[in-house]
Amino acid sequence: MTGDRPGSVLENRKRAAAALGLEGDRMKVATQVHGSRIVRHLDPSVAGSYLNPEADQPEADGHMTSLPGVPLLVLVADCLPIAVKGPGGLAMLHCGWRGLAGTLIEKAVSMTGGGAAAIGPGIGPCCFEVGPDVAGSFPDVGEGVFADGRCDLPEIARRKLRSAGVEAIEMSGVCTFCDQRDFFSYRRDGGLTGRQAGIAWVD
Ligand SMILES: [Zn+2]
């Protein structure tokens, strides 16, 4: 939960890593700022800030690596966690509308070589009410993604991935706002909420 005690955050992070059989001190996280920066991780021995929440960490909305055993993690609650895999490596992205309107997808495809992508749970077209600022940020996205004051963010992501050359795209189809039982939703919960983690790694 946002504002939780550091000890509780650390314990939950340890549990999440252990549940997946991952080494927490290898996991890469960043301070997410709804930008288009992707950090490339080249050295598996550098400890990330996942198990040290007080440590300095980069400002970025994506991680990329080609190294096995370096899990990439983004935190989301309505934004989309998107993994992109290609011959050059793997990227994990935190994609809200600002990241999608920027160059996050295109950069990830360029860095990894594209090929395949997975779009995880985020706010769906059923619930994502937007103003003209959001609609105006996607002049080239095509028809049908804005209707009745709502935005189909997963479909925008799919189209951008496809335009960048990604052929195999999986979509979860789950709306975090609708599914109160299983997901946190920043909008539904009025900002004070937990986060899902989108985690991807090279075996
Ligand atoms: Zn919904």
Please tell me the distance between residue 130's alpha carbon and the centre of ligand 1 in angstroms: 13
Q: What is the pLDDT along the chain (203 residues), one digit of tens a residue?
A: 466 788 888 898 999 999 999 999 899 999 999 999 999 999 877 778 899 877 888 999 999 999 998 999 999 999 999 999 999 999 999 999 999 999 999 999 999 999 999 999 999 999 999 999 999 999 999 999 999 999 999 999 999 999 999 999 999 999 999 999 999 999 998 878 888 999 999 98
Please tell me the distance between residue 129's alpha carbon and the centre of ligand 1 in angstroms: 10
Please tell me the distance between residue 179's alpha carbon and the centre of ligand 1 in angstroms: 7
**Of 89, 150, 95, 145, nearest to 120 (Cα)?**
95
For residues 39 and 28, give the distance between their C-alpha atoms in angstroms, rounded to a whole number: 9
Please tell me the distance between residue 79's alpha carbon and the centre of ligand 1 in angstroms: 13
Q: Which CATH number fits domain 6-200: 3.40.30.10, 3.40.190.290, 3.60.140.10, 3.90.226.10?
A: 3.60.140.10
**Of 50, 57, 105, nearest to 83 (Cα)?**
105
Please tell me the distance between residue 67's alpha carbon and the centre of ligand 1 in angstroms: 36
Q: Which residues surround ligand 1, an ion (CB under 5 A)?
A: 124, 126-127, 175, 177-178
pTM of the model: 0.94
